[in-house]
Amino acid sequence: MNPIDLLSQHIREDWPTAHVTMARPRHPKGVWSLDVIHAVTGLVIQWGPESGFGVSRLDTESYGEGPDENFSTLDEAESRIKHLLNPIYLAIDTPDSEEARDLIAAAGDYIGGVKIGLTHWFANDRAMIAETVAGYDWFLDVKLYDIPTQVEGALRSVVGLRPMFISLHTGEFKENANDNERRSEELMMLMAKHAVEREAAVSAIPQPKLLAVTIPTHLPATPAQVLAKAQRAISCGMDGIISSPLELATLRSELGSRPILMTPGITLNGGPRDEQQRTATAHQAMRSGANYLVIGRPITRADDPRAAAKEILDSLRIGK
């Protein structure tokens, strides 16, 4: 069995719900192609006996211009693909960088990325943040909200750190905002999108995805309220939405398959919700249309964070 056949077998075993197709070359030294369509992302994986593995994500701006990443061995490619197909972003909300790195190391085999929240972001300098997230895709969850020029400047200053996602607020949760307030918030989002596009292009690096916060999970909300904020954000260029698991089905039905849906509020088998009101299990959230799951305390406060992360990932792999 050649390396890409073996890789295909491993992906099918790990992710039975993924759709995997193989295109075989006519020439013995030609390039093999493996398409993987999964709830998290779509991948095109190419392999040649002389060129090794090339991995491309379908949701990148550069798709079609060649592989996003290249790997010389099966182990290297499989390790990266394992993270790309994993929807779990481990929430780091401790100010202590050593504790953060220990948590990431403990759960590392069973997470797809790292979420850096306000506490860790403001407690550490940028070099320390880069060290904390090294080797992982990461989500900068600082929920930006300010006058448009301030948000634009803030975003331009962090694009070079290469976060995969950055969060913004859609607004201050006001149902009765006046026209001027709404125009300012909409301009904020439009300028935010322009800022990351321009800065990424100038620096020739991947463009971060902007995710709009609707109504946080510790507040009461209806699917209709969340949908209204989400539709407004998408119309202003946001790449995706952050909402509780309870609104996911409505968002996916109304917004279609393109927007990224990131959800916090994940509990472990109906466990404690802390201050969160709108929650669900990881499997329930993925079944409702989530692409990514932000999970903190069910893993970070567990007696065995590694075992907790594995339990959640296993529940997603087997679809239960």
Catalytic: 115?
no
d(CA 238, CA 299): 29
Which residue out of 29, 143, 193, 320 is catalytically annotated? Answer: 143
Angle between helical axes of 305-317 and 97-107 (0-180°, round to 10): 40
Which residue, among 108, 110, 53, 57, has the nearest Cα to 87 in the 3D structure?
110
DSSP 43-99: EEEEEETTTEEEEEETTSTTTTSS-SEEESSHHHHHHHHHHHT--EEEEE--S-HHH
d(CA 219, CA 174): 13
Q: Please state the φ and ψ torsions of residue 311, each to the nearest 5 degrees.
A: -60, -40
d(CA 189, CA 145): 9
The CA dihedral of 118, 81, 55, 259, to the nearest 10 degrees, is: -50
108 secondary structure, DSSP code: G
Contacts of 279 (CB under 8 A, 6+ apart): 217, 244, 245, 246, 265, 266, 267, 273
The CA dihedral of 245, 182, 164, 320, to the nearest 10 degrees, is: 10
d(CA 23, CA 37): 14
Entry field: residues in the chain: 320
Q: Cite the active site residues.
A: 143
